[in-house]
Amino acid sequence: MLARAKWDVIVVAAGRGTRMGTAESKQYLLLEDKPILIHTLQLFEAMEEIAEMVLVVGAQDVTRCEELLLQYNLHKVKAVAAGGSERQHSVRIGLSLLHGDWVMVHDGVRPLVTPAAVRACMAAAERSEAAVLAVPVKDTIKQVNESGIIVATPDRRSLWAIQTPQAFRRSLLQEGHERAAAEGFVGTDDASVVERLGVSVTVAEGDYTNIKITTPEDLPWAEFLLASRKQE
């Protein structure tokens, strides 16, 4: 049974999303009748395990997001902070504003993660101190060199596609980010800065529907998934 620990959440939404090909940043595009980012924040707002959130966005969007929080009555977001030049820097900024024992980091453009998946990730972290949501890779993966030649075919059974949220004891994640900053390391996710400490990170199996809305094709797929859930 999941312990009733209280969790904080850093929602990262500072990217411009050039692959979406729109003038508007992807996190503010409408999914059904409200911005993608609002769907994400409302999910955590409704979970009783969540104590506080920090939203990290582009400096030019801080005021805009503060107004959205008022519009949608999102009371658990304690601060809207301007992000850094890299996602990792943005997470470190968010960490500096939180003081609870446990923290999750989640992409603002993953609005379809389920409460059940979030709780599975939290439970795994409470057992091991560090956990990520992930799903087994379905496709065969090839390692390709700079000349476009296949050089290896990893065993698909050992490959997982990593998602968010990623969940940690806050002090552990803080230590990982501080060391990464001191050593000039920039990783692709938060688990990577913890792994560098020699800490094992646990995988909690998530859902394939926990998509990251990144390209134009993702938005209609997200709309379909959202509509399907309403019919269940």
For 210, the token pair is 């926990």
CATH number of the domain that residue 178 is part of: 3.90.550.10
Residue 1 lies in a domain: no
d(CA 107, CA 14): 10
pLDDT at 15: 76
pLDDT at 20: 64
Residue 147 lies in a domain: yes
| End-to-end CA separation in angstroms for the chain | 26
pLDDT at 17: 61
pLDDT at 231: 79
Domain count, the chain: 1
Residues sharing a CB contact under 8 Å with residue 203, sequence separation 6 or more, in sequence order: 124, 131, 132, 133, 134, 160
Tokens 């792994």 — which residue?
A: 195
DSSP 58-86: -GGGHHHHHHHHHHTT-TTEEEEEE--SS
Residue 28 lies in a domain: yes
d(CA 53, CA 63): 17
Residue 139 lies in a domain: yes
Residue 231 lies in a domain: no
Residue 232 lies in a domain: no
Residue 188 lies in a domain: yes
Q: What is the pTM of this model?
A: 0.94
Whether 58 contacts 14, CB under 8 Å:
yes
pLDDT at 1: 46
Mean pLDDT of residues grouped by 10 in the chain (232 residues)? Answer: 77 77 83 95 97 97 97 97 94 96 97 97 97 96 96 94 98 97 95 97 97 92 91 75
Q: Domain limits at 160?
A: 7-226
